[in-house]
Amino acid sequence: MCIRDRLILVLINGLQYLFSTTSKLLMWIIFILALPSYITYSRSNLKKSFFMRVFGALAIVIAFAGLILIQLNQFIGIETLILGYMFEPLAGISIYLSLYNVNKLFSSLFFYGALIYTIGLPMYLINLGIVSVAGDVIKMIGLFMLIMSFYTKRRVL
């Protein structure tokens, strides 16, 4: 099950799904995977890397607090987790600026898709979670095309 599947399950089943054992497990796996990603990005030669180091660290710390609260079945954990996610686009500015010269269109799709995804997360609270799902799809298209442009070792478009 991927993140998009979980987003859609929350859209269909409501926020209560986030308190299911499966969802909690997936959130912890995603969190654990975020740690080496953060370390790698923080050590890399990204443009404006302080965005990654500062806002990425904030996102991780706040998300951890949210996961603990969700584990304790506290609804405020969802809100805390969403707050942590709000710092991810700020951390992603350094990735966006570094990839912008590779391909303006695909790096923009990736970044702005991630931004729409993040903005859409709180919209689950008012039954508009589809915004987050759409942002995630846009982000994945941009990421896929960026990877393909690296894989083919030529600029696409």
Mean pLDDT in each 10-residue stretch from start to end of the chain (157 residues)?
Answer: 67 87 92 93 89 95 97 95 92 90 90 93 88 93 88 60
pLDDT at position 156, please?
A: 47
pLDDT at position 4, please?
A: 55
pLDDT at position 36, please?
A: 94
Give the chain's end-to-end CA distance (angstroms, integer): 32
pLDDT at position 78, please?
A: 92
Cβ 6 vs Cβ 23: under 8 Å: yes
Torsion, Cα 141 142 144 149, to 10 degrees, reads: 140
pLDDT at position 2, please?
A: 52
pTM of the shown model:
0.83
pLDDT at position 1, please?
A: 45
pLDDT at position 59, please?
A: 95
pLDDT at position 62, please?
A: 97
Q: How far apart are CA 93 and CA 97, in angstroms?
A: 6
Q: How far apart are CA 129 and CA 114, in angstroms?
A: 14
